[in-house]
């Protein structure tokens, strides 16, 4: 387990009396690629600015290598930042943009004084940083002669050339087109691996978070909703917000009658979840790629196809099942108006707590309100990719 590098303890941030971070606690490890993910206004950029020293928390502590750094200014922290607007100097070429921080830096000379870095060391470090970001030979170019992706690489080179222990990246791919953004996701992860430093990355794009991160921190309304690996966050969301924000989901209200038994959509299903109170109202999450289409009589649920949209590698299908419209991702496409069955296995069903469960006067479903799971005919719904039999 890598050592702890940064810790935020009960950090609260308020602007004009409005809480934007609500006593969050977060640990970041050495050489970790950690992503702060959430919608606009969730507090992710404020968290980044606290780590960088651009803001001071209203309350709580920020610790770096065990030392409290609340009052340490940004230039004295072992942290550099790459912003969405790269802030490159238009009057300087690529080399001088990258070398800028090195030229103003001073190092101890052994005699109690500080001196500038030798020109030879600056040259070596700048060329090394440019090669690392794929810009070898671009050192004499002007900023206006570069594409958006190349400018972003210059900004990264300028940040890593100073050899920070942590690199903060505030939505650095936001200004790039889709194809280039996807390419840069993989390149950023490779750069992080090569330089061996901690990356703290801010984005609202869940694909970026899942593609690059060792750890994802999902935030909403100034609170941390869930921390985990990309696989854990996607497969085991802790609440409906995380499930809905990370990928597509069918989220249905249900009742957990006992361990491994939940009812929703008017049916009783086996599941793999336990530890809930008897007859506890819950949210049930089913990912659209986990729903298998069958002949009408071959699934637990039965519905009518409302729409079919081609998405490239799959079809996105909406199926009307009573009061609920289900989203299904499949490699085969039924026709609009077709009747189909929907088949779920226990592993496809994810159960989670649901706050503010029912409006006043409403009652939860009981076992008497649901139909038992139907028996299936042999061979019903065994299609490997959710294909219609």
Q: How far is Cα 209 from Cα 207, in angstroms, rounded to an integer?
A: 5
Calculated CA dihedral for residues 266, 271, 277, 282, nearest 10 degrees: -50
Q: How far is Cα 182 from Cα 184, in angstroms, rounded to an integer?
A: 5
Burial per residue of 277-307, b for 16 or more beta-carbon CB atoms within 10 angstroms, e otherwise? eeebbbbbbbbbbbbbbbbeebbbbbbebee
Q: How far is Cα 86 from Cα 348, in angstroms, rounded to an integer?
A: 43
Beta carbons of 212 and 33 less than 8 angstroms apart: yes
Mean pLDDT of the chain: 87
Q: What is the CATH number of domain 4-235?
A: 3.40.50.300
Helix, coil or strand: residue 123: helix
Q: For the segment 109-167, what is each residue's pLDDT rounded down to a tens digit?
A: 666 677 788 889 999 999 999 998 889 999 999 988 988 888 888 989 998 998 899 99
Predicted local distance difference test score (pLDDT) of residue 116: 80
Residue 144, Cβ density class (10 Å: 0-12 exposed, 13-18 middle, ≥19 buried) = exposed
For a pLDDT cut of 70, what percent of the chain falls above it? 89
Helices (H), 41-169: 44-52, 94-104, 119-132, 148-160
Domain residue spans of the chain = 4-235, 249-369
What size, in residues, is the chain? 389
Predicted local distance difference test score (pLDDT) of residue 231: 94
Predicted local distance difference test score (pLDDT) of residue 108: 64
Kindly report the three-state secondary structure assignment for every residue of 178-195.
Answer: HHHHHHHHHHHHHHHHHH
Flag the least confident range among 107-121, 213-227, 258-272, 324-338.
107-121
Q: For the segment 82-110, what is each residue's pLDDT rounded down to a tens digit?
A: 887 778 888 999 999 999 988 887 676 66
Greater model confidence, 388 or 352? 352
Q: What is the CATH number of domain 249-369?
A: 2.40.50.140
Predicted local distance difference test score (pLDDT) of residue 109: 63
Decide if pLDDT at 360 tops 50.
Answer: no
Local confidence band at 1 (pLDDT 50, 70, 90 cut-offs): low
- For tokens 């060329």, name the residue: 127
Q: How far is Cα 245 from Cα 172, in angstroms, rounded to an integer?
A: 20
**What global pTM score does this model have?**
0.81
Greater model confidence, 256 or 101? 256
Q: For the segment 23-73, what is each residue's pLDDT rounded down to a tens digit?
A: 999 999 999 999 999 999 999 999 999 999 999 999 999 999 999 999 999
What is the Cβ-side half-sphere exposure of residue 165, based on CA atoms within 13 angstroms?
15
Q: How far is Cα 300 from Cα 199, in angstroms, rounded to an integer?
A: 46
Q: How far is Cα 98 from Cα 151, in angstroms, rounded to an integer?
A: 11
The mean pLDDT of 217-230, rounded to a whole number, is 96
């Amino acid at each position: 387990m890598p050592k702890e590098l940064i810790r935020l303890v009960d950090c609260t941030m308020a602007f004009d009396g409005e809480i934007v971070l609500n006593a969050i606690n977060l640990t970041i490890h050495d050489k970790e690629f950690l992503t702060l993910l959430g919608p606009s206004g969730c507090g992710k950029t404020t968290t980044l600015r606290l780590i960088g020293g651009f803001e001071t928390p209203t309350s709580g502590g920020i610790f770096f290598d065990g030392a409290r750094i609340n009052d340490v200014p940004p230039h004295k922290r072992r942290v550099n930042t790459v912003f969405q607007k790269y802030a490159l100097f238009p009057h300087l070429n690529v080399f001088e943009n990258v070398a800028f921080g090195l030229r103003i830096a001073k190092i101890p000379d052994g005699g109690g004084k500080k001196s500038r870095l030798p020109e030879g060391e600056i040259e070596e470090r700048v060329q090394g940083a440019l090669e690392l970001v794929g810009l070898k030979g671009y050192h004499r170019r002007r900023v206006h002669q570069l594409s958006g992706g190349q400018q972003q690489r210059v900004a990264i080179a300028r940040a890593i050339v100073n050899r920070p222990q942590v690199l903060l990246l505030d939505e650095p791919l936001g200004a790039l087109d889709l194809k280039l953004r996807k390419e840069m996701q993989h390149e950023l992860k490779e750069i992080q691996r090569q330089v061996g430093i901690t990356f703290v990355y801010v984005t609202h794009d869940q694909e970026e978070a899942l593609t690059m991160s060792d750890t994802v921190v999902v935030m909403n309304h100034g609170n941390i909703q869930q921390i985990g690996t990309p696989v854990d966050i996607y497969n085991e969301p802790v609440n409906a917000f995380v499930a809905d924000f990370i990928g597509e989901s069918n989220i249905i209200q249900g009742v957990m009658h006992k361990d491994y038994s939940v009812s929703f959509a008017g049916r009783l299903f086996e599941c793999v979840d336990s530890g809930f109170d008897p007859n506890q109202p819950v949210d049930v999450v089913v990912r659209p790629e986990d729903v298998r289409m069958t002949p009408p009589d071959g699934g637990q649920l039965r519905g009518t196809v409302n729409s079919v949209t081609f998405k490239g590698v799959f079809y996105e299908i909406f199926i009307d099942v009573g009061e609920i419209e289900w989203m299904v991702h499949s490699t085969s496409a039924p026709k609009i108006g077709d009747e189909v069955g929907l088949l779920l296995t226990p592993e496809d069903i994810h159960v989670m707590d649901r706050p503010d469960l029912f409006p006043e006067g409403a009652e939860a479903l009981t076992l008497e309100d649901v139909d038992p799971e139907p028996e299936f005919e042999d061979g019903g719904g065994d299609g490997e990719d959710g294909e219609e039999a």
